[in-house]
Amino acid sequence: MNRRYLLGTLPLLAAAPVLAQQLPAIRTLSVTPGAGGTNVTGSLADTKARGLYYVPGQAGQTMNVSVASPGNTVVFQVWEPGTGVRTNADGTLALNGKPMRDAGPSEEPAAWIGALPKTGPYLLIVYSRREAASYTLTVSVTGS
């Protein structure tokens, strides 16, 4: 009886990995305050692809982020420390946190400067609005 039960669950267990989508790697950028910034190059395969980066920041510092891409199709978002990120079954990101003012999902900036309200890793999400694209992301932090 136990054997039949176990065999009956195998198709369900085998289907589980198909439903789950792997979260893209989140890379931590090393940004030295006042040192002129860090440049990162990357590419996005399509409009569903995301580049994810953590940038350490201290409350009271100012962060400057910009992204350059052919055709200016790549934009980004900046999220406060503590933002939870996971992948939905369809591969889209699900975020649980607070976007930075003027750098959230409805703004889609290509350049942003903002004061950091908290200490911790800020999440940057880079994506293309129209097509596959390459990009250069520039991040700097100033202040104490």
User: Where do the domains of the chain lie, and which CATH numbers do they carry?
Assistant: 20-142 (2.60.120.380)
- Residues 59 and 119: beta-carbon distance below 8 Å: yes
Taking only the tens place, the pLDDT of each residue in 66-89 is 999 999 999 999 999 999 999 888
Taking only the tens place, the pLDDT of each residue in 20-65 is 567 778 999 999 888 889 999 999 999 999 999 999 999 999 999 9
Amino acid found at 130: R
Spatial neighbors of 83 by CB under 8 A, at least 6 apart, are 95, 96, 97, 98, 123
Regarding pTM above 0.95, the answer is no
- Residues 64 and 53: beta-carbon distance below 8 Å: no
β-pairing, 26-28 vs 51-57, is parallel
